Amino acid sequence: MTEVLNPFRIAQQQLDTAAEKLGLDDATHELLRWPMHELKVTMPVRMEDGTTRVFHGFRIRHNTARGPAKGGIRWHPDETVNTVRALATWMTWKTAVVDIPLGGGKGGVVCNPKELTDTEKERLARAYVRALGKTLGVTKDVPAPDVYTTPQIMAWMMDEYETLTGEHHPGVITGKPIPLGGSHGRGDATARGGIYVVREAAKSLGIDLQDATMVIQGFGNAGQHAARIGHELLGMKLVAASDSKGGVYNSKGIDVEVLIDHKIRTGHVNGFAHADAISNEELLELETAVLFPAALENVITRKNASRINCTILCELANGPTTPEADDILYEKGIFVLPDFLANAGGVTVSYLEQVQNTYNLYWNLEEIHFRLKDTMRRAFNSVSEMSRNNTVHMRNAAYLVAVARVAEACKLRGWV
C-alpha cells in the first residue's frame, strides 16, 4: 500500500499514461519522468531558548524547458523528498496547461511551524535561502508560499536573497505582501481560479449552480476562499467543511463568514454551533453538486472512490486522487477537474506578480481578475476539447495538453 500511495510514483504513473497516448519516444518519456535538479539542505537554526535545532529541507526543479522553475515552499512535519518531487513534477504540468512560460519546481522543509515562534520562523526562512545559495533567481527558480508558509515568510526570504546579492530582486519570490511588490488578487487566486473552472465545467454540463451545494474538505486558506467565492460568484450553498480536527455539516446550509470567523477564533471548525459534527471520511462521501478536496494528498483512493457522490470534483489540493480512484470516478460519471488545472490560479497570479515586478508596473484587482479568468477559461477549453477528441477523462486530457507542450519545448531545445 505504501508504494501505491507514494506521490512521486503516482505522478510518474500519470505521466506514463499520457506518454503512451501521445506516442512519446523513449528518451523524452524518460527525461520527463525525473526531476532535472535536486538539492537537499541541512540548516542549523538557533532557537529562542538558546539551543540549536537542525532542520532538513529540499528544493527540486523538475523541468525548465519552458522557463524558470516555479513552485511553492511547504513547511510540514511529514514532508518527504518524494512529495516534493511529485509536486515539482505537477508544477511543470500546471504551468504548461495554463500556458505560461515557466517550468516546475517545489521546495519543502521538515518542520512543524505551529511549534515555532515568529522569530524562529524568520531564522528558518533566512537559513533556507542561504542554504540554497545561487540556485534561486528570477531566471532560474522562483519560490512562492505553500502549505504553512505565508506572505510574511516570503518577505523574509526575499530580503535574505537581496541581502546576499546586494540588489533589489522582488520577482525572486512571489506571494509577497503587497507593499513589497506582491500582487493584488494573490491571496485568493488558487480558489478563485478553481471557481472559474467550476463555472466553465457547469456550463459544459448544462448545470445551474445557483443554490447548488458545495462541500469543502480542508477549510484552510484555499478552502475558505473557495467557500466565499463560490457563494459570491456562483450562488452556491456550503453544507459541509472540515479540517485536520474534523468536520461540520448542515444540510440547510452554513453561513460561510460565520464559519470562517469561528475557524479564525478557535483554529478549527469543530464546535461550530450551527452544524453537526462529521468526520473527514463521511464528508467526502456526502451527496453534493461540487466537492472541493482542498487539503493534502491521497484522500480519494480505490477504497472510497465508489462512494464519492458529487457531480463535479474540483481538486484545490495537490494530488488528492489516486490513479485507481480516477478510473472509478470516471466510470461513475463524476466530472473531475484535476489539480494542476483546478488549482493553477495561484501560479497564474504568481506569474502576473513576476511580470509586474519585472516591469515595475502594477495592475489593479480588476485587471488581475480579468487576466486570471481569461487564462483559466482558455486552459479549461483546451483540456475539455482534448477530453472530447480523445474520449479520455479530464485528468488524462490535461496531461495530454501539458506533456505535449513540455515535450515540444524539450525537442526544440535539442535536449532529446
| Residue positions annotated with a catalytic role | 106
Distance CA 350, CA 196 (A): 17
Helical segments of 166-304, H only: 189-205, 221-234, 256-266, 280-284
The set of cell numbers assigned to 251 is 444540510
- Close Cβ partners of 175 (under 8 Å, ≥ 6 residues apart): 72, 144, 145, 151, 154, 182, 186, 350, 353
Contact 400, 392 (CB under 8 A): yes
Cell 497516448 locates to 21
**Beta strand pairing status for 52-63 and 103-110?**
antiparallel
What amino acid occupies position 14? Q
Q: To which H or E segment does residue 107 belong?
A: strand 103-110
How crowded is the C-beta side of 155, counted as CA atoms within 13 Å?
A: 11
Distance CA 402, CA 340 (A): 10
Contact 398, 383 (CB under 8 A): yes
φ/ψ (deg, to 5) at 273? -70, -20
Strand order in the sheet with 309-314: 276-278, 246-249, 237-243, 213-217, 287-293, 309-314, 335-337
φ/ψ (deg, to 5) at 298? 60, 45
The set of cell numbers assigned to 96 is 504548461
Helix, strand counts (H, E) of the chain: 14, 12
DSSP 3-state helix, strand, coil percentages of the chain (rounded to 5)? 50, 20, 30
The conformation of residue 23, written as its DSSP 8-state character, comes to T
For the purposes of burial, counting CB atoms within 10 Å of the CB of 276, is it exposed (0-12), middle (13-18) or buried (19 or more)? exposed
What amino acid occupies position 183? S
Contact 407, 31 (CB under 8 A): no
